[in-house]
């Protein structure tokens, strides 16, 4: 509670200051208000005490994020199911395929001579471990599976007819929107209300409100070899046609509209697409200024 109240008290005066610069401060009553950066609904200080304003992890905690700012309970909860769960499942699937040990289990089916055993799979330092889950299997099929497995063990055959399939289900577009949402919130925390309260940022909030509508083209850079803990914000100045705010979240680099003379998102996407090479590779050099990664909302431009 103390942290949430402190973050409210730091953000509310900054919001009013920016609204005064925009000439719309009279739309709020005289008391302090904090607007959820995702939906822009404004809340009084009492909303913190009743849990309507909540601490948001950026990126989501499920993919290594940490508490950074306040969003409303509705936006926070909705993002978890609409976007963040898909990003987490995608990240788990990628890590498994790359041989990374995460300690997380994935649904899987293992086959011996084509006889299935349904269960879970997990990467360990020594390889892949697969465990059957009895309630997922027909007892007769499970018995036949282990009978075939034991037969291979008794025969000493070192090349059994063995295979397994890992089952994951996620929506690629929603997984990408989750990362775009995280970048948007990180940029807000670093740069402030003056950055997000611009017409050029409206499509981002519209996409978050309408997860089933394709408003944003989810184009960004993925660098699978990057450290998952890397966090950077770059105010890109050159090349000029790519002037933007680049937010680096591990292997994901998301390109948001810049601070000055910002390009609409569709124009920025087109500029990036023109530099795409064969195999969907994107090789660019970005020059600009680094902004310190926020550990809480700092509203640098406000």
Nearest to 264 by CA among 208, 216, 194, 220: 216
pLDDT category of residue 299 using cuts at 50, 70 and 90: very high
pLDDT category of residue 278 using cuts at 50, 70 and 90: low
pLDDT of 280 reads 67
**What pairing do the DSSP bridges indicate for beta strands 252-257 and 244-249?**
antiparallel
pLDDT category of residue 218 using cuts at 50, 70 and 90: low
Are residues 8 and 132 located together in one domain of the fold?
A: no
Domain stops at, among 144, 167, 190: 167
Are residues 44 and 125 located together in one domain of the fold?
A: no
Are residues 63 and 19 located together in one domain of the fold?
A: yes
> Cα–Cα distances in Å, from 202 out to 179, 205, 264?
17, 5, 10
Crossing angle between the packed helical segments 85-97 and 172-191, to the nearest 10 degrees = 110
Are residues 258 and 149 located together in one domain of the fold?
A: no
The pair of structure tokens assigned to 111 is 């086959």
- For residue 217, pLDDT beyond 80: no
Interval 148-206: pLDDT, tens: 999 988 888 878 898 999 999 999 999 999 999 999 999 999 999 999 999 999 999 99
The pair of structure tokens assigned to 222 is 């993925």
Are residues 261 and 181 located together in one domain of the fold?
A: yes
pLDDT of 271 reads 87
Interval 52-94: pLDDT, tens: 999 999 999 999 999 999 999 999 999 999 999 999 999 999 9
Mean pLDDT of 36-63: 96
**What pairing do the DSSP bridges indicate for beta strands 66-72 and 53-58?**
antiparallel
- For residue 9, pLDDT beyond 90: yes
Dihedral sign for Cα atoms in the order 152, 156, 160, 164: positive
Are residues 144 and 263 located together in one domain of the fold?
A: no
Are residues 46 and 125 located together in one domain of the fold?
A: no
pLDDT of 107 reads 94
Task: Report angle CA 31, 209, 41 to the nearest 5 degrees.
Answer: 5
Mean pLDDT of 263-272: 87
Nearest to 89 by CA among 186, 168, 207: 168
Are residues 139 and 269 located together in one domain of the fold?
A: no
Q: Is residue 185 part of a domain?
A: yes
Q: Is residue 55 part of a domain?
A: yes
Q: Is residue 296 part of a domain?
A: no
Mean pLDDT of the residues in the chain: 92
- For residue 18, pLDDT beyond 70: yes
Q: Is residue 179 part of a domain?
A: yes
pLDDT of 223 reads 87
d(CA 146, CA 130): 13
Q: Is 296 helix (H, G, I), strand (E, B) or coil?
A: coil
Are residues 218 and 72 located together in one domain of the fold?
A: yes
> What are the two backbone dihedrals, phi and then psi, of residue 256, each rounded to the nearest 5 degrees?
-105, 160
The string over 237-274, giving b where at least 16 C-beta atoms fall within 10 Å of a residue's C-beta and e elsewhere, is beeeebbbbbbbbbbbbbbbbbbeebbebeebbebbee
Domain coverage including residue 112:
106-167
The pair of structure tokens assigned to 224 is 């699978």
Phi-psi region of 192 (alpha: psi -120 to 50; beta: other; left: phi over 0): left
pLDDT of 3 reads 94
**What pairing do the DSSP bridges indicate for beta strands 287-291 and 231-238?**
antiparallel
d(CA 79, CA 177): 10
Q: Is 206 helix (H, G, I), strand (E, B) or coil?
A: helix
> Cα–Cα distances in Å, from 128 out to 125, 142, 244?
8, 20, 42
Are residues 175 and 157 located together in one domain of the fold?
A: no
Structural domains counted in the chain: 2
pLDDT of 219 reads 67
Domain stops at, among 120, 135, 167: 167
d(CA 228, CA 55): 22
Are residues 142 and 276 located together in one domain of the fold?
A: no
Q: Is residue 101 part of a domain?
A: no
């Amino acid at each position: 509670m103390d942290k949430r109240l402190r973050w409210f008290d730091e953000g509310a005066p900054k919001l009013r200051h920016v609204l005064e610069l925009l000439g719309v401060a009279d739309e709020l009553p005289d008391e302090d208000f904090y607007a959820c950066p995702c939906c822009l609904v404004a809340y009084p200080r009492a909303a913190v005490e009743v849990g309507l304003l909540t601490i948001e992890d950026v990126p989501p905690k499920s993919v290594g994020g940490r508490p950074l700012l306040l969003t409303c309970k509705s936006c926070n909860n909705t993002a978890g199911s609409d976007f963040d769960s898909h990003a987490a499942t995608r990240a788990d699937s990628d890590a498994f395929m790359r041989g990374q040990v995460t300690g997380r289990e994935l649904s899987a089916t293992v086959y011996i001579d084509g006889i299935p055993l349904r269960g879970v799979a997990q990467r360990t330092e020594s390889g892949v471990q697969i465990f059957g889950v009895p309630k997922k299997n027909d007892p007769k099929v499970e018995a036949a599976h282990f009978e075939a497995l034991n037969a291979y063990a008794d025969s000493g055959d070192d090349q059994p007819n063995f295979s397994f399939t890992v089952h994951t289900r996620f929506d690629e577009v929603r997984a990408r929107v989750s990362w775009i949402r995280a970048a948007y919130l990180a940029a807000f925390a670093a740069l402030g209300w003056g950055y997000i309260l611009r017409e050029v940022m409206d499509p981002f909030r519209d996409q978050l409100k309408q997860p089933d509508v394709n408003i944003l083209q989810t184009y960004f850079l993925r660098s699978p070899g990057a450290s998952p803990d890397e966090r950077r914000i770059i105010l890109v100045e050159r090349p000029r046609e790519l002037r933007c705010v680049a937010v680096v979240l591990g292997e994901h680099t998301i390109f948001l509209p810049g601070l000055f003379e910002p390009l609409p998102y569709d124009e920025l996407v087109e500029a990036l697409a023109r530099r795409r090479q064969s195999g969907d590779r994107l090789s660019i050099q970005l020059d600009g200024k680094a902004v310190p990664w926020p550990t809480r909302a700092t509203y640098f431009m406000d």
